[in-house]
Amino acid sequence: MATSISCTSSSFLIMRYFISLFVLLGLNLWSLDRGFALAEGTSKRHLLHPKNTHIVNLHSLLPANTCSPSTRGNKRKATLEVVHKHGPCSHLPQNKGTTMNHTQILEQDQARVNSINSRTSKKLNGVEDLSQSEATSLPAQLASSQGAGNYIVRVGLGTPTKQLSLEFDTGSYFTWTQCQPCAVSCYPQNDTIFDPASSTSYANVSCNNAKCVELGASTKYNSCLRGTCLYRMLYGDEYHNSYTIGLLAKDKLTLTSNDVFDGFLFGCGEENVRFIGPSAGLLGLSRNNFSIIEQTAQKYGRFFSYCLPPTASSTGYLSFGSPGRASSAAVRYTRLTTLSLSSSYYGLDVVGINVNGQKLSIPPSVFSSPGTIIDSGTVISRLGSTAYSALRDAFKAAMKSYPAAAPDELLDTCYDLSGYSTVTYPKIAFVFGGGVTLDLDETGIVYFLNGLKQVCLAFAGYDDDKHIAIFGNTQQKNMEVLYDVAGGRVGFAPGGC
């Protein structure tokens, strides 16, 4: 099969274009865990008005070796447990060569952000070379990198059902998993690689099927193998471009025993390049006909919600359908917007940011043009330079009693907190149109780059105001986030996991 694919599809030869950047082996998992472990504290020390600050016990940052699952999601139907890829709740064998240090995580995060922006800037040199496409034809629906900070859910595929861990992604729409016989290449994954030959419900999609034509139009890739439809998804940027190519396929998707979908369209990846694993692929939730949200719309009415765990040693959930009364009473809704140049993203109507209870002076147009999206796969939120400078200056002013630490390329506002047992930092809130104010969880404000020695403001700024602002997954931690896609609104509630 390997040979026949290579002969039939020239794109299967693109492996020659390797940019060898990601060889990620034997890295320390537990220093990483601290970056995700900021728990509640009780100290009395405060700098500013206590109502506007978080007072956090730094001792609670010591890495947890065991998983403390949340039970909050259990009340809902159609719910999957969400775990952080690098933490005890993922039940991954340690030292499997798939963990990353912070430098690598933030590099990959930047690649994803570059990829998101390339859709609007129309520049993506590396991937253009890679795809050997005509100079101007960018994949219109270029998905984003399977990022380092992603969260994992387990779903069942095929008959009999095979359990697969997939990274769930609100920033891309296409679900895929690595498939046997891995005709060109597979990366190491934790689960056994899905074998279509051992699923009685598996079917290929033919090239003249309307879905093949639709996907081809959306990805600017039309390729066939003996009448069977091939797909190609490109991720990342010119430095970290990963991609998957394989068969467009249909099989039974099992979320829970009561939530089973026949004929779910997904990618059976035979050439999966420059992914790190250990997940088996990706679950796409953004707005497109191929998204799981659209494919399950009859049952769930295009409604889903999730909570990203506050630490890597706790769990969250991903839930399909309206949670009804299981939802928090405190949920506030704001409108979902659509970015004109990339309509599959979930856009947010951000109008301002508060620090320490005070609204920063930022013109709302900084957020609305080219727009702000919410993305589960970007780790660090990105802001235009005007908004970021205002946020950073206000944060710095509130933190002036703490010793500064060296900045990182991406995170430029860092403190050395190794001499402290508690830290007090200002609350940060996002303000949305319609008067909705969302206080970030205390775990969503700082990033532990190097234990307590380098604790940084978990936001980054662009060089200008022309890029897409991104509400990333650090800022979403421990919040219930509800997507009422049909109703055109997104809701938030605190303390969701």
Ligand X SMILES: *[C@@H]1O[C@H](CO)[C@@H](O)[C@H](O)[C@H]1NC(C)=O
Kindly list the residues in this chain that would bind ligand X in the complex (CB under 6 A): 1, 90-92, 101, 103-104, 152, 165, 190-191, 196, 202, 204, 214, 225-226, 228, 247, 289
Cα 241 to Cα 251: distance, rounded to the nearest angstrom: 28
Closer to ligand X by Cβ: residue 110 or 204: 204
Shortest distance, CB of residue 403 to ligand X, whole angstroms? 20
Angstrom distance (rounded) from CA 319 to CA 222: 34
Q: What CA–CA distance (Å, rounded) separates 318 from 79?
A: 6
Q: What's the rounded Cα separation, in Å, for the pair 337 and 489? A: 8
Tokens of residue 67, six digits? 């998983």
Per-residue tokens: 487? 């109703």
Q: Which C-beta is closer to ligand X: that of 193 or that of 398?
A: 193
Among 326, 456, 375, 378, smallest CA distance to 173 is for 375
> Residue 300 — φ and ψ, nearest 5°?
-110, 0
Query: Which is closer to ligand X, CB of 118 or CB of 177?
Result: 177
Of 232, 230, 194, which Cα lies nearest the Cα of 212? 230
Residue type, 10: S
At 34, which helix (H) or strand (E)? Answer: helix 29-34
**Cβ distance to ligand X smaller for residue 1 or 486:** 1
Query: Residue length, the chain?
Result: 497
39: alpha, beta or left? (left if phi > 0; alpha if psi -120 to 50): beta
Nearest position to ligand X, beta carbon = 165
Q: What sections of 399-468 are H helices per DSSP? A: none
Contact between 204 and 247 under an 8 Å Cβ cutoff? The reply is: yes
The nearer residue to ligand X, 45 or 91, going by C-beta atoms, is 91
Tell me which amino acid residue 50 is.
Answer: P
User: Coil, strand, or helix at residue 203?
Assistant: strand
User: Which distant-in-sequence residues (6+ apart) come within 8 Å of 358 by Cβ?
Assistant: 394
Q: Which is nearer to ligand X, 147 or 491 (CB)?
A: 147
Q: Which residues are catalytic?
A: 169, 375
Look at residue 11 and give its three-state secondary structure: helix
249: Cα separation from own chain's centroid = 24
Of 228 and 337, nearer to ligand X (C-beta) is: 228
Other Cβ atoms within 10 Å of 15 Cβ, number: 15
Pick the closer one to ligand X by CB: 281 or 371: 281
| Helix or strand run (H / E) with residue 246 | strand 242-256
Looking at residue 209, its amino acid is: N
- Closest Cα partner for 67 from 313, 310, 315, 317? 313
Q: The tokens of 175 are what? A: 């679900």
We find the least distance from the C-beta atom of residue 197 to ligand X, in angstroms, to be 7
Q: Name the token pair of 249.
A: 């396929």
Find, among 461, 455, 454, the residue nearest to 442 by Cα. Answer: 455
Q: Residue 20 CB, nearest distance to ligand X (Å)?
A: 12
Cβ-based nearer residue to ligand X, 399 or 485? 485
Q: Which amino acid is at 201?
A: S
